[in-house]
Structure 1
Amino acid sequence: MNCKNCSSSFNGKFCNNCGQPADTHQINLHFIWHDIQHGLFHFDKGVFYSLKELYTRPGHTIREFIEGRRVKHFKPVSMIILLATIYGLLYHHYNINIFISEAEGTKELTPSINHWIANHYSWYTLATIPLYTLGTYICFKSQKYNYFEYLVLNTFKASQRLMLHIITFPILLYFNDKASLKTLIYIYYIVDLFLIYWTNFQFFYKLNFWQVLLRSICSHLIMIVSLLIILTSILLITS
């Protein structure tokens, strides 16, 4: 048959030249619904499968993805953008104030920072992934993965944390503008660290417990120092 996209002759279910399916289907309600399922949510083998794996066997499934078992997974960058956008919309719509400082015994909010992150949460989340990756690459370089493979690892880990924040968003909303919000943010931070370390223990299964723990701590410190340097530089330039 002839391909409807490039006019090449071929046999089988897909064009050998451009890869378009032989059966293109009529555009109707069924076509639109399947496109939504496959392209946005990928119900059959995508975002929900990846998220399930990230909460049952995170390190193992990420390692398998890097090594080539990718058909069932949603693409890591697409997933982090999707989740960060959802969280950013929730954060902005409900005006969550997670940046709290104490001054003269009263709580003060920093609306400018709060507003910026609420409206650019996808970019903020994506911007920190290379910093996490830098620390992972330096501390786990002996494991023979390259920087971009570690970038995939940390992108999946960021999606894992974001999904937790989305699921527990009603809790954050309940404590919004309350004095106990600061304690809740610390709890979130501890849980995020647990998820990072749990994933690392599975991903770097060839190393013993203490090797993974110490390198994970070192990796996290590198990320924090790098972030502080960048933020300080931005403040100095803009001040």
Structure 2
Amino acid sequence: MICKNCNSEINLNFCPDCGQPSKLKRIDGHYIMHEIEHVLHFDRGILFTIKELFINPGQNIRNYIFENRSRLVKPVIFIILTSIIYTLISHFFHIEEEYLQYQGLDKSTFVKILGWMQANYGYMNIMTGAFIAIWLKIFFKKYNYNFFELLIMLCFVLGISMLIFAFFALIEGISHIKLLNIAGMISVVYLTWATGNFFEEKKAANYAKALICYLLGIITFYILIFSIGITIDLITKH
């Protein structure tokens, strides 16, 4: 038999080169349940990843980068999945409609970009993370992490931040008590702690630098978005 994935010859149940099964089972109810269990599995799935990132984010993310990439959920999948969870809860309860008001500005390109980002938190977090990673690279230069390793770290910790927002959004939607501002403060505390923990947990200055990098990253990202919006508006009006 020939592997349909890599065209290697197969004599056993699995391809010796890529691991693809020699014969795929049909997709049925059992397959769907197995996939759900695989995602949620507490040994290597989403729940395990959340637990480890809450307890010891620095060590677990360093292990993912340098030693074992099978224990945690893939970081890009993690940030997109957690962002979707928050988006679904927020839209269901109409949470952000009470916080974000664009009266008189709804036709500007900048607000339209913000609206797109509000509907696509996964992509927005990755883009914001790219700006934060640049500042982390500058402030933590001596640790020799490259840009992409820092971005991977940010996908994990920003994913937990999204879950913090999702939890408080759910409670707010049920209780009608304003809690999203509290979620924001807790999120900043976690992001600062997790990032400082990633570099060197016993060095207090790292936590202060982490907070500065997050603030600078967000500010520079929104300055760029605002500049793009204003430039497009000026061009289209002429």
Instruction: Answer yes or no: same fold by TM over 0.5.
Output: yes
Greater helix content: 2
1:108-119 alignment, distance < 5 Å: 109-110=101-102, 112=106, 116-119=116-119
Q: 1:8 to 1:118 in 2, by over 3 A?
A: closer
| 1:54 correspondence with 2:48 | no
1:88-237 alignment, distance < 5 Å: 88-97=87-96, 100=99, 109-110=101-102, 112=106, 116-173=116-173, 181=178, 184-205=179-200, 208-210=203-205, 212-237=206-231
Aligned to 1:65: 64
Once the two structures are TM-superposed, the CA of residue 61 in structure 1 deviates from its matched residue by 0.6
String of CA shifts for 1:111-166, please: whole Å, max 9, x gaps: 75585444233332232111121121111121011100000000101101011112
String of CA shifts for 1:181-206, please: whole Å, max 9, x gaps: 4xx44422221121112112321127
Q: Output the amino acid matched with 2:69.
A: R
String of CA shifts for 1:185-239, please: whole Å, max 9, x gaps: 44222211211121123211276222x0232133123213312321320331243
Whether the 8 Å contact between 1:157 and 1:196 is mirrored in structure 2 is yes
Aligned to 2:73: 74
Whether the 8 Å contact between 1:59 and 1:200 is mirrored in structure 2 is yes
Query: 1:204 aligns to what SS in structure 2?
Result: helix
Q: 1:230 to 1:19 in 2, by over 3 A?
A: same
Identity of aligned residues (%): 27
Whether the 8 Å contact between 2:129 and 2:217 is mirrored in structure 1 is no
Whether the 8 Å contact between 1:132 and 1:219 is mirrored in structure 2 is yes
String of CA shifts for 1:13-62, please: whole Å, max 9, x gaps: 63123421356445443233223433xx2525221111111111111111
Query: 2:70 aligns to what SS in structure 1?
Result: coil
Q: 1:33 to 1:3 in 2, by over 3 A?
A: farther
Aligned residues: 223
CA distance in 2, matches of 1:206, 1:35: 36
Aligned to 2:236: none
Of the structure 1 ranges 228-237 and 66-75, higher mean CA displacement relative to structure 2 is found in 228-237
CA distance in 2, matches of 1:100, 1:33: 38
Give the CA RMSD over aligned residues: 2.9
Aligned to 2:33: 33
Aligned to 1:14: 14
Q: 1:225 to 1:139 in 2, by over 3 A?
A: same
Whether the 8 Å contact between 1:85 and 1:122 is mirrored in structure 2 is yes
Whether the 8 Å contact between 1:139 and 1:218 is mirrored in structure 2 is no
The TM-score normalised by the length of structure 2 is: 0.79
Once the two structures are TM-superposed, the CA of residue 4 in structure 1 deviates from its matched residue by 5.3
Query: Which runs of 5 or more structure 2 residues have no equivalent in the other structure?
Result: 234-238
Query: Which runs of 5 or more structure 1 residues have no equivalent in the other structure?
Result: 102-108
